Structure 1
């Protein structure tokens, strides 16, 4: 299959990955730095800390709702204009957050942030997908996702430091200088790429699919952080699934659906997408579980826990540079099948950590886990998109972003539900019983991740290797 790419001058080809990486970093950092500051924000705004979940949910739901439309918006108005606007919206929303003097104003500002955040990730990846030949996809995707791995690792520590020594407003103000650099770089380096044909927007499909993502996301968060009654969670989940089924039944009968069922005619896309959904259960739970394990179960201070995560981040960065030669030599099938098994085993092995575990061994386990997780993200994303032609690239990329958002919520919700369930089972919350709950949770998450290897084993030995460059 002939897959074309845009021709870039050398200056743009070198600068473009940096621009997309900056945007990824802004979004991933903001998603984790906020959690540490919520109690301080509640005190300053004279609110109950339990009500502050709306600050997180407003952003999450805005992103979940808008991502499905990101591909059509980029095709209609051009990637340069939309990517630039996304950074402006995100930065402006950050400024409004910092200026907020009430919870309602803060929630409204987070919606503005979410409008920008929903466009930055999928449109940035779409630019890369269209601008470079498929043979470069692994290398470029590996580079631009490094900041996305760093954000969840340094976010909680940075948020705690800012709240302690400055004020909570700085967790939003820090986005402004990064946003200014991003706006300049986007204007200078992002090419203006559009879809070949202007299609009519699938409004009803957007409503059905958006409603499904909203309902399923709220249900997953209700199972975890929101602690909704199980009956309400089940009703939300069934309503979301009904909207999703209605969307797909309709999509097969209309001319230009939001996401065409024909996307799944590309084997690598179908396998990669479902593999992403289930393998990210463990990856999504990792930034949530590890800091809690270190602080709550093992008694580490926030700064000690943050420093202990550095080997994980360093190994993740190193693994990105090794991803392409490993995949070129072994192929996607072997790499993803073996690496998914290794990821599940390593997640389960963290459940063996206790107060008697030598510190050096803990750091070594986290470093190995970081490297495996990094290779997993790079290979999964690349194999999902690598065989899509230009006509389906925008739609497929947006659907991958939706699945990423959904699986992240699902991973955190599953981890939170397992942790809560095991904590209830062991009775009185002593240090030993809390550690036991964490150990059982890591073991369960690891086993769930291992099952995803069966999906990637369906790839053929040659999938992703037959690429024709311009």
Structure 2
């Protein structure tokens, strides 16, 4: 695949950071994180509620899995146009509009009386979510300079890690003690609060040079990602030859369309693959996504293990796996001092190894393992994953100039979406291969699958070895001639800290 381009990016005007009062700046990552949490929960919240919804809508439970597939498919298809739209209408306006669409989709989901209405509403939700994630990331990148970016972006990964664990628990609680429709109605006040806070506290967009929309390129990548996403989704279906033929039938044209797109030579591509020429961006996206595939399989496998092998209810299982969110919360204040002390290269080499260890450690779980020990282990496991995800997200943007940010968030969001789906699908496929279809998976099957998934993060190490010690130093604050000081972990823009830098 070639990535040639006639664009002289160095000649493009520099994009300046928007002016923002120091007292308001810490609110920006909180606003974006709240929107991310709402979107992340919605990716998994239906899992434990499918039987109840299927009964209410008078359809088979397996048919209702289409509601999950339609949502993820809509995400994959529309993410590539998010960067262009952000430049066209402004990131702040697009973020509010995307939240509004997500709320509208949520309201229609809650009011659905049949499967067709629910699927259409989920597609609308997915379109709103496809704009929310990359554009929220773009707002963060444009609101902070690189030396303050590590602190700000540490808020962004926490919802992504908490969502897969909180979603099933929240879905189980609402379905058990209220109507399943409140799963969607609860998005309305959260979304409204996020829109109001965005309008009040996020600065206007800087001047961005407009570019033409690459319609042909968008159609190519949208169709390619639709094929790839459907192929990934179908690996979770029963492991039968018919499904294998469908997977291959979708995977081959998806890969071919991506190749055709990469061979095109256009001035303003829908996905700017020339960004992969940046070494840190390429390593962060490709190697980081490979590491994520292994780590993303764990939240899928653990609830199944607890319910199928240990006999726990969905609510009991969710109450255990939710403790993993504590690890994500612990990680957030640790990221800045960790980056300043070790730099990107050391963290990116150590975290895949630790990730492989904690995934493999799940193979030692049994039905007699004390629940407090399970919970403590999940906190540790989530802490490792959170450090890796945070460092990867910061590395991706560490060396990019401001005028390339809107193009970069689309590629990063697509890679994140595919790695998340692929991690779940690989785990499901491994479980189907090693298990007995007649009896279903048993303890030894989960043990083997955890060990297989633990190998995947290690495959990213050769690429992470290509990082240099000084890569991303402006973001991490790492310097070879000194160790981090405690004061370095305090954001410079925090109210009361160095007010002379910000006369506003």
Q: What TM-score does the superposition give when structure 2 sets the normalisation length?
A: 0.88
Q: Does 1:438 align with 2:446?
A: yes
Aligned equivalent of 1:453: 461
Aligned equivalent of 2:260: 246
Asked whether the 8 Å contact 1:345–1:447 carries over to 2, the reply is no
CA deviations on 1:229-248 (whole Å, 9 max, x unpaired) are 21221121111000000000
**Whole-angstrom CA distance in 1 between matches of 2:282 and 2:130:** 23
Aligned equivalent of 1:102: 114
Q: Does 1:429 align with 2:439?
A: yes
**Whole-angstrom CA distance in 2 between matches of 1:184 and 1:317:** 25
Q: Does 1:184 align with 2:192?
A: no
Q: Following superposition of structure 1 onto structure 2, how do residues 48-447 of structure 1 map, counting pairs within 5 Å? A: 48-194=60-206, 196-225=208-237, 229-250=243-264, 253-424=265-436, 429=439, 434-447=442-455
Shift of 1:285: 1.2
SS of equivalent to 1:256: coil
SS of equivalent to 1:258: coil
More helix by proportion, 1 or 2? 1
CA deviations on 1:147-202 (whole Å, 9 max, x unpaired) are 23222212111111211221111100111111111111111122232562111011
CA deviations on 1:53-108 (whole Å, 9 max, x unpaired) are 22111111111111000000000000111000011110111011111111111111
CA deviations on 1:29-65 (whole Å, 9 max, x unpaired) are 1111111111111111111112112211111111111
Comparing 156-165 with 399-408, greater Cα deviation is found at 156-165
**Whole-angstrom CA distance in 1 between matches of 2:359 and 2:68:** 26
Asked whether the 8 Å contact 2:232–2:422 carries over to 1, the reply is yes
Comparing 183-192 with 84-93, greater Cα deviation is found at 183-192
**Whole-angstrom CA distance in 1 between matches of 2:117 and 2:422:** 28
CA deviations on 1:320-375 (whole Å, 9 max, x unpaired) are 21011111111111101111111011101111111243434322321210100110
**Whole-angstrom CA distance in 2 between matches of 1:115 and 1:463:** 35
Asked whether the 8 Å contact 1:83–1:124 carries over to 2, the reply is yes
**Whole-angstrom CA distance in 1 between matches of 2:105 and 2:317:** 30
Gaps of 5+ in 1: none
**Whole-angstrom CA distance in 1 between matches of 2:347 and 2:124:** 40
Asked whether the 8 Å contact 1:76–1:194 carries over to 2, the reply is no
SS of equivalent to 1:254: coil
Shift of 1:297: 1.7
RMSD (CA atoms)? 2.0
SS of equivalent to 1:13: coil
**Whole-angstrom CA distance in 2 between matches of 1:451 and 1:147:** 26
SS of equivalent to 2:24: helix
SS of equivalent to 2:297: helix
**Whole-angstrom CA distance in 2 between matches of 1:373 and 1:161:** 26
Asked whether the 8 Å contact 1:337–1:454 carries over to 2, the reply is no
Shift of 1:429: 2.9
Shift of 1:300: 2.4
**Whole-angstrom CA distance in 1 between matches of 2:416 and 2:142:** 20
**Whole-angstrom CA distance in 2 between matches of 1:443 and 1:195:** 50
Asked whether the 8 Å contact 1:79–1:190 carries over to 2, the reply is no
**Whole-angstrom CA distance in 1 between matches of 2:392 and 2:198:** 27
Aligned length: 464
Q: What TM-score does the superposition give when structure 1 sets the normalisation length?
A: 0.94
Shift of 1:311: 3.2
Asked whether the 8 Å contact 1:338–1:453 carries over to 2, the reply is no
